[in-house]
């Protein structure tokens, strides 16, 4: 299982509320059409203290792929092109990053999943 993680700050002049609304509706509706993605999660930063202070990033997204072939196919799709073209409506592109990771599930449903280290 491979995952691509994205992070970004909202575009200048956009409120946190408008950013969250756009990303979880308009932009997500474009992303859901990209072939090969088996799971897509948007993580919006939370202001739990209510300070309203600016954070380095306003959100992160995770896109899961069953294998590297699925990831490569999605990268060549016209649907992904539409998602990337829409990013100017949402992100400060100078802050946007992505990284591909191989996921290692450690805890699921409160249960430890990983093997113990060998002595």
CATH number at residue 38: 3.30.70.100
The region that residue 52 occupies, defined by phi over 0 for left and psi between -120 and 50 for alpha, beta otherwise, is left
Domain assignment present for residue 99? The answer is yes
Instruction: Indicate the SS3 state at residue 78.
Output: helix
Q: How many domains does the chain have?
A: 1
Mean pLDDT of 24-29: 98
Whole-model pTM? 0.86
The string of DSSP codes covering 9-41 is: EEPTT--HHHHHHHIIIIIHHHHTTSTTEEEEE
What pLDDT, on a 0 to 100 scale, did the predictor assign at position 104?
86
Query: pLDDT tens digit string along 43-92?
Result: 999 987 788 888 899 999 999 999 999 999 999 999 999 999 999 999 99
Domain assignment present for residue 41? The answer is yes
C-beta separation of 31 from 40 below 8 A: yes
Structural domain that includes position 24: 2-47+56-104
- In this structure, what DSSP letter does residue 89 have? G
């Amino acid at each position: 299982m491979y995952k691509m993680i994205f992070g970004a700050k909202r575009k200048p002049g956009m409120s946190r509320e408008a950013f969250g609304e756009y990303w979880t509706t308009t932009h997500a509706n474009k992303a859901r059409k990209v072939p090969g993605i088996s799971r897509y999660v948007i993580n919006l930063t939370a202001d739990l203290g209510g300070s309203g202070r600016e954070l380095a990033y306003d959100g992160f997204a995770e896109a899961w792929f069953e294998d590297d072939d699925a990831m490569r196919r999605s990268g060549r799709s016209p649907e992904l092109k539409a998602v990337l073209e829409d990013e100017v409506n949402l992100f400060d592109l100078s802050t946007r990053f992505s990284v591909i990771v191989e996921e290692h599930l450690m805890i699921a449903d409160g249960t430890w999943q990983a093997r113990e280290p060998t002595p």
